[in-house]
Structure 1
């Protein structure tokens, strides 16, 4: 298993400060959670299937998966995340690296990569993560990988007004040029941390290169992610409006012409069986 030294120090510091635990509890983060649940519940095998949650952080997804009846193992590179996830009933958590999983071949019915591909900024490292997921999932099993859109920083800047900042615009220009998101010194936590931003179809190409088949790309937040945070919470807090929002987003979630508007993308692929 690879050690922590293979990870970017800023990445470990960023998440080591406990930033991930509450991110998916409000605003656009809550929309990301609700839509990820919506998608996975449609495509995961029926419980009590076994799921490996790679890069599962503090267990936000593992918690609801266990509640749904799945058998969940969680792996994360940040020890503080693993300590917190291990307190969740039914979740078995351990420190590990998406590029070198401590698991047997074909050990799981499904594998989730809902974070590792953000921070593996080199293509070869991302392919290693995809290949490891393909190795440990059973033949015919599902691999679901989240990525951040190449256009996410630009859209965030327009929605929040940060686009007026010259340093922010320079960072966005680099994001758009090559996907390498590198916040300037002194502002890494405000503007996230070192990240790779995918073009809409890029993760599907990576999945195929890693030996998986039939990849499909879905927008997670889709265009609703461009709404102000308060408005997103208003839609999600009312059951009727929430249902209508999900109804609408399901109808554009695979539309190639609007995928880039989504802050996050979910790519589903299968191990040949």
Structure 2
């Protein structure tokens, strides 16, 4: 955990990441809008970085608490909250594997970061189990994964020089990265594995989506489009996001389930 915390504390600006990856941010928000219904809900954003999604939901009137492993991310969340005039219920520097002290009071839990930093399957299961214990009956969990095709897609999208084909393809075998170039300790998962992991907890699957799908390879060009054209492509992306034929073309996978 120290390696991951240091990465976000010292080397990586998670707030600005979603400025660069607009499609990921906007498609995910669209799913949150569609399935997080009701007013003034208690929401726990576990591993939510500097609180991009937490603040988005708080702006809609929900009571959102944020927990993250990185002290810097929590500091940024407090700073950005002040700038935006938003107050979260709590800003917690904590570990997604240590949730026993929190109450079972949430209608919604976001788990949109921890599962792609936990290399051991037992830790991923423990993280989900801990989160589910905090959900009220009929509550919703939203979980994110990074696809094991993402490193290949990232190289293709940016046309980075390839030092070793085998090193680039290895994530299709075990998904484990001890410190992938340009990233920290991570676990990349196939769509099949991600679905099976979540469904083993007896959840009712609401959606399983490939977030960026066909827009992934044209991200930079899509970001530069005027708003009217950008929204057209975003609509296409959203309609295709649950199409099993293209889910594997996404770097990020999104699961929403109900207990």
Could you tell me the TM-score, scaled by structure 1's length? 0.86
**Equivalent in the alignment of 1:103:** 102
**Equivalent in the alignment of 1:21:** 15
Residues of 1 paired with 2:173 and 2:189: CA distance?
Answer: 11
**Equivalent in the alignment of 1:250:** 238
- Displacement after TM superposition at 1:204 (Å): 2.0
Aligned ranges 1:161-200 → 2 under 5 Å: 161-162=159-160, 164-167=161-164, 169-183=165-179, 190-200=181-191
**Number of residue pairs matched by the alignment:** 251
Residues of 2 paired with 1:75 and 1:37: CA distance?
Answer: 19
Residues of 2 paired with 1:100 and 1:240: CA distance?
Answer: 44
**Equivalent in the alignment of 2:249:** 261
Aligned residue for 2:107, secondary structure, equals strand
Whether the aligned pair in 1 keeps the contact of 2:195 and 2:255 (CA below 8 Å) is: yes
Aligned residue for 1:166, secondary structure, equals coil
Match of 1:234 among 219, 224, 228: 224
Deviates more, 1:68-77 or 1:209-218: 209-218
Whether the aligned pair in 2 keeps the contact of 1:204 and 1:215 (CA below 8 Å) is: no
CA offsets 1:187-213 (integer angstroms, 9 cap, x no match): x5x521111111112222112223423
CA offsets 1:68-118 (integer angstroms, 9 cap, x no match): 11110001111111122234131121012212213112x101000111111
Q: Which consecutive residues of structure 1, in runs of 5 or more, have no partner in the other structure?
A: 1-6
Aligned residue for 1:206, secondary structure, equals helix
Residues of 2 paired with 1:171 and 1:40: CA distance?
Answer: 35
Could you tell me the TM-score, scaled by structure 2's length? 0.91
Question: CA RMSD of the aligned region, Å?
Answer: 1.6
Aligned residue for 2:61, secondary structure, equals coil
Aligned residue for 1:32, secondary structure, equals helix
Q: Which consecutive residues of structure 2, in runs of 5 or more, have no partner in the other structure?
A: none
Cα 1:215/1:122, change in 2 over 3 Å: farther
Residues of 2 paired with 1:181 and 1:242: CA distance?
Answer: 33
Residues of 2 paired with 1:24 and 1:179: CA distance?
Answer: 23
1:270 aligns to 2:242 (yes or no): no
- Displacement after TM superposition at 1:264 (Å): 0.4
Residues of 1 paired with 2:243 and 2:44: CA distance?
Answer: 29
Residues of 2 paired with 1:203 and 1:215: CA distance?
Answer: 14
After the TM superposition, list the runs of 4 or more consecutive aligned residues in structure 1 that deviate by more than 6 angstroms: none
Whether the aligned pair in 2 keeps the contact of 1:217 and 1:267 (CA below 8 Å) is: yes
- Displacement after TM superposition at 1:23 (Å): 0.7
**Equivalent in the alignment of 2:52:** 60
- Displacement after TM superposition at 1:182 (Å): 3.4
